[in-house]
Amino acid sequence: MAYKIHGFREVIFSVRDIDRDLVIYSKLGGWTATEKDKLSNSQLSFWNLPSQTTGETALLKYPGRENGIIRLVSFKNVAQKHIRAHAQSWDTGGIYDVDIRVLDVKKKMEAFQYYGWTGFSDVEEYQFNEFHVSEILIRGNEDMVFALIQRHAPTLEGYPMLEEMSQVFNSSQIVKSLEMSKSFYMDKLGFTEYANYEAKNGEAGPNIFGIPYDVYPNVVRKISILSPNGTNEGSVELVELEGLGGRDFSKDAIAPNLGILTLRFPVDNLIEYVDSLKAKGVKIEKQISRIDISPYEDVDMAAIKTPDGVWLEFMESVTSSYE
């Protein structure tokens, strides 16, 4: 049986207070929340956490979807720091944001502001290849960044129940070298490119990244969206802002630190996939391990790191398919 990778099923948020975030995200997103559960010892061990560490977890789901799930985790009895503490948009390392579709981005931004979230800039309307969108990047608890995106054209399809916020459909990383990171995802991990974009900004002015107006014309934006199946669902967006330098958070992008911790990709035939990674020279940070993860019960899981220090997990259900 050949292996098959799927778009990420879960994005894991490491937070201080699960109860707080379950309430906030349920209200803002219209997402369904599960009951809290304990993090299993096997999961804590997989993340290389000290034996005294304990934790809790809960899920937030967009109704009717089993992908793009947000998993909240919180840890106790262990030291923590923010993964991307006080980061600027051009700082590399770790996961930068999660992307969510909304019907009215300005109205949704106002709802987030009520809970103390702020934008890197005002809402920007722009053209990305054939897509006409309005977007804002906002930051809130644990320096978490959300990209709220309203599609104007072409007509958004596949979201018949969209009222508040969609599931997470994409996740961005600010990378040191687009060429190097793109090669890693495509040549090593087996991802396919969905879209790419490169442009040098023509004039000074506002922009979604919050880059100073007078600097913006000298910045080259390089973007590539990749996924296991070549679509914009469960995809990864690599962004290089050439001409800007900043801090690198790669070493902090691990559990139990706070922020967007990892993306979790289902795989059919995980053993064969991991063998293929090894054959291509990919370092396996965690070999295949049997993990108890609520609500899936037992899964087999392995983990790697990208060139920019992003911890990625690949999992296969012991009892059922992800199709």
Does residue 322 register a pLDDT over 90?
Answer: no
265 neighbors 1 (Cβ within 8 angstroms): no
Q: Where are the beta strands (DSSP E) in the chain?
A: 4-5, 10-14, 32-33, 37-38, 54-61, 69-76, 97-102, 118-119, 124-128, 131-139, 145-153, 165-174, 192-200, 220-227, 235-242, 259-268, 284-293, 297-305, 311-317
The predicted pLDDT at position 320 comes to 52
Does residue 176 register a pLDDT over 90?
Answer: yes
DSSP letters, 164-230, are: SEEEEEEEEEE-S-HHHHHHIIIIIS--EEEEEEEEE--SS---TT---TTTGGGPEEEEEEEETTS
Does residue 321 register a pLDDT over 60?
Answer: no
Of the chain, the end-to-end C-alpha distance in Å amounts to 15
For 145, other C-beta atoms within 10 Å of its C-beta total 21
Residue 236 within a domain: no
Residue 202 within a domain: no
Average pLDDT over residues 217-225: 95
The residue type at 102: V
Q: 118 pairs with which residues across the strands?
A: 139
pLDDT tens string 231-275? 999 999 999 999 999 999 999 999 999 999 999 999 999 999 999
Residue 47 within a domain: yes
Percent of residues, the chain, with pLDDT higher than 70? 98
**Listed residue (101, 74, 5) closest to 258, CA to CA:** 74
Could you tell me the CATH number of the domain that includes residue 267? Answer: 3.10.180.10
Q: How confident is the model at residue 186 (pLDDT cuts 50, 70, 90)?
A: very high
Residue 101 within a domain: no
The predicted pLDDT at position 303 comes to 98
Residue numbers of the domain that contains 303: 4-82+251-317
More confident residue, 90 or 203: 90
Does residue 125 register a pLDDT over 50?
Answer: yes
109 neighbors 138 (Cβ within 8 angstroms): yes
With tokens 């398919």, the residue in question is 321
Residue 20 within a domain: yes
Residue 25 phi/psi, 5° resolution? Answer: -70, -35
Residue 218 within a domain: no
The residue type at 204: A
The predicted pLDDT at position 179 comes to 97
Give the chain's domain count: 1
What's the mean per-residue pLDDT of the chain? 94
pLDDT tens string 141-152? 999 999 999 999
pLDDT tens string 7-50? 999 999 999 999 999 999 999 999 999 999 999 999 999 999 99
Residue 96 within a domain: no
Does residue 323 register a pLDDT over 70?
Answer: no
Does residue 297 register a pLDDT over 90?
Answer: no
CA 92 to chain centre: 14
Does residue 56 register a pLDDT over 70?
Answer: yes
Q: How confident is the model at residue 201 (pLDDT cuts 50, 70, 90)?
A: low
